[in-house]
Amino acid sequence: MSFGILRTGDNLESMKKIFMFVNVDWFFLSHRLPVAKASKKNNIDLSVYTEFTQTHAEKKMDGFNFLESPLSRSSRSILHSIFEFFQAYKIIKRAQPDLIHAVTIKPILALGIIARLTSTPFVGSISGLGPAFSSDTLLKRVRLWFVIKVLSFIFDRNEIGIICQNTSDSEVLLSNKVLAKEKILMIPGSGVDIEEFSPSKKAIDSEKYILMSSRILFDKGIQEYCEAAEIVKRTINDDVKFKLSGPIDSISPTSISKYELENLVEKYGIDYLGDNRIDMPRLMASASLFVLPSYYPEGVPKVLLEAAASGVPVITTDHPGCRDAITNERTGLLVPIKDSQALAKAIIELISDESLSKYMGNQGRLLAEKSFQVSSVVDHHYSLYRLLL
């Protein structure tokens, strides 16, 4: 399969109907909204189905339909999952879309089977393989075997494609013979608006601070960030502050409760900024350094792309997805996972060398301009849609 870039105005001859299923509304709005907004100009009648965690007043947003999905992010039981599956099947049978695009593992499994049963062209987007691909217990190994068998069934046909964000995920799929290499389209993350996230957004005379922004999960490296902050403060006499922003995600199995978070930030002297910040471009550009010590099953973390576009040096882990977002020792530094000492050492190295930090920030901006622009991500999506349609 060959994926060419869709040129401006190079549209399909007739309008086609695409249904996109995404696990949850906030993830769609932060990671896939630009793709949806481009639907009409690409002659696509797009309907987005996602679990609603808040009320959305309008059913039509920026030219596409925004609807509540029958699939919940976390099902209560096997019977409930079966019920959700048949609800989704009824939607597809009734509306008969020309293509289905599913984002994240659960929608891929459910809608992939439905697409196979209805002979509908299908695209799956892997945003990190997630807990389904862990195999550290017997039960998880059995689950992984089942997931691989289902994925192999879904992708064993024509008119299918899969989007991977990092090479590790694509290699896992290939090594398990889920699909052929030519069916995989590599797109490095969800892209970033380099006008919105820019060094020009830096606040004048901003205080010196280190920033981490992510969902508040243990495997995003929250504990390690806090411990590293304590080591840095104890090691060097510096007035640098440590800030943390992001939402508490109570559904995730590695969630940190509000009570646990309050204790952590108080114990280690971290300034928690809350979630849903509307000033992230300024907050990001004004940081001396951005840190994400994640060992979560990542695609390519969007915050790392935003940090690069903001001209801020990055410290992240040598972990799938995270390492794909930086050029080590050029736009930032890689450290081992679950290693607070190594993280603290890297922080001290960069905040102690302003010329190195400035160089890495400038190189990160160049990398974002070259490889992470959201317009390119959108074009890649519609190239794939056009090919399958």
Average pLDDT over residues 370-386: 95
According to CATH, what is the number of the domain 16-191+374-388? 3.40.50.2000
pTM confidence score: 0.90
Instruction: Tell me whether domains 16-191+374-388 and 199-371 share a fold.
Output: yes
Q: In angstroms, rounded to a whole number, what is the distance separating the alpha carbons of residues 276 and 278?
A: 6
Q: What is the pLDDT of residues 3-55, one digit of tens each?
A: 443 344 456 668 899 999 999 999 999 999 999 999 999 999 999 999 998 87
pLDDT surpasses 90 at 306: yes
- Res 207: pLDDT: 85
Q: What is the pLDDT of residues 92-107, one digit of tens each?
A: 999 999 999 999 989 9
- Mean of pLDDT over the chain: 91
Spell out the domain ranges in the chain: 16-191+374-388, 199-371
136-145 mean pLDDT: 81
The CATH H-level (homologous superfamily) assignment of domain 199-371 is: Glycogen Phosphorylase B; (3.40.50.2000)
pLDDT at 77 over 90: no
